[in-house]
Amino acid sequence: MFGKLLLVILVMGCVACLLLVNRQQRIETAHECARIYRVLVDQRQTMWALREEIAERCRPDQVRLAAAALADEWAPLPADPATRMRPLPLPQPYELAVGR
């Protein structure tokens, strides 16, 4: 009888330890998710600040002056989509497997 009681106590202790380990892992995972989210928000704020700075610095008159200075190196895109380059068709999965 004493052996069974000791075995039950040991098993319950192991289960309790496993539950504590599982709980600690969940807490660490939630902490890591919150840290990553904070980094993501900081990067978004930085990106929007940079976009704002670019928008402030790139005024249309300055862009026109730069384009005029580089007129021989730049060419406007055609307005007609039919004259633009068409993208290459993607290979079908069968063609990839066979190697055609």
Range of the domain at 47: 21-57
User: Can you read off the two tokens belonging to residue 53?
Assistant: 């700075």
H or E segment and range at residue 100: none
Residue 87 lies in a domain: no
Residue 91 lies in a domain: no
Residue 38 lies in a domain: yes
Residue 99 lies in a domain: no
Q: Is the CB of residue 84 less than 8 Å from the CB of residue 78?
A: yes
**How do residues 9-66 score in pLDDT, each as one tens digit?**
999 999 999 999 999 999 999 999 999 999 999 999 999 999 999 888 888 888 888 8
Give the pTM.
Answer: 0.50
**How do residues 76-99 score in pLDDT, each as one tens digit?**
666 666 665 666 566 666 555 555
CA distances from 69 to 58, 73, 75 (A): 15, 9, 13
Task: Please tell me the total count of domains within the chain.
Answer: 1
